[in-house]
Amino acid sequence: MTPTKLMATAAVSALTALFAAGGAWAQDCPRGDLDKRYCDVDGDLVADVPTDSSQWIDPDTLIFAYTPVEDPAVYKTAWADFLDFLKEKTGKDVVFFPVQSNAAQIEAMRSGRLHIAGFNTGSNPLAVNCAGFRPFTIMASKDGGFGYEMEIITFPGSGIEKMEDIKGKQLAFSSETSNSGYKAPSAILKADYDMIAGRDFEPVFSGKHDNTILGVANKDYPAGAIANSVMARMIERDVIKADQVKSIYKSQTFPTTGFGVVYNLKPELQEQIKQAFFEFKWDGSSLQEEFKKSGEEQFLEMNYKDFWDVIRKIDAANGVSYACE
């Protein structure tokens, strides 16, 4: 064989080996709906912790963010005792990051600027698939009950007594990534009432649940789709009066905010953070003071695959894609 043919044969063999290795790597890294930077070998639908320790991160300061509902200043105070306990458990500084939108929160984790978070119900699938979020707990009542309902509310005298009365009027949503603030009501209105945004009613977006609730209570919006756990806390704090609004629809119970960590935190650190959630003493804490208003007084262990199944089905009905930009 001539030197030229030998070189050509060697090049083909090298390329064949390269493509074969690439195919084997792809098979070793199944990911389902996850972004291409993540793997899901165990099939639990969340990003695996990297097997290569050089990919782990072990920051000196941990950044925590709670889903952007109501005034972030309220929740910085509410989470103060827990974050002190988290600092004690991990031996690291912990900073509360007041995010203003679901999109900003997801981007912060995707870009490595957010390590621990509570993502709202609707944005959990996006956070899982696009940001490497690994949720493991939700808040629950002392007897283990958990979740909230989506309600469509109006104000007394609005002329809206039933869902069909929304036709031709405005309906306020919070944001397109919110389950109760957009995804669930959109799916329900279409499936059960043959009502579609833009055709049968005018959709408007308030940005957050509390904006929608305040908007309806103050008669800025004729109706709005909201999470009733947020409304319960606002009524408890006298932000609005219960008689300022009335409900015309209440959904099945959905899982509430999911808490977890970014996938590439050092495994020992991830375990310390989990322990902090499950060992935290609620009684007399700033966390209990705030969240008992909506009946939540403990952290309950959960998994994304099972608890968020109904949310993924709602997303599928709405044609939602988890593609990351």
Q: What does pTM read for this prediction?
A: 0.79
Residue 127 pLDDT = 97
Residue 100 pLDDT = 86
Residue 43 lies in a domain: no
For the chain, the domain total comes to 2
Residue 28 lies in a domain: no
For residues 217 and 83, membership in a common domain is answered with no
Residue 13 pLDDT = 42
Half-sphere exposure for 57 (CA within 13 Å, toward CB):
17
Residue 105 lies in a domain: yes
Instruction: Provide the residue range defining the domain that includes 198.
Output: 148-254
pLDDT tens digit at each of 325 positions of the chain = 443 343 344 443 443 333 333 433 445 899 999 999 999 999 999 999 999 999 999 999 999 999 987 677 788 999 999 999 999 999 999 999 999 888 999 999 999 999 999 999 999 999 999 999 999 999 999 999 999 999 999 999 999 999 999 999 999 999 998 999 999 999 999 999 999 999 999 999 999 999 999 999 999 999 999 999 999 999 999 999 999 999 999 998 999 999 999 999 999 999 999 999 999 999 999 999 999 988 999 999 999 999 999 999 899 988 888 888 6
For residues 91 and 175, membership in a common domain is answered with no
Residue 12 pLDDT = 39
For residues 188 and 237, membership in a common domain is answered with yes
For residues 127 and 174, membership in a common domain is answered with no
For residues 153 and 295, membership in a common domain is answered with no
For residues 293 and 156, membership in a common domain is answered with no
Letter for the amino acid at 315? D
CATH number, domain of 137, equals 3.40.190.10
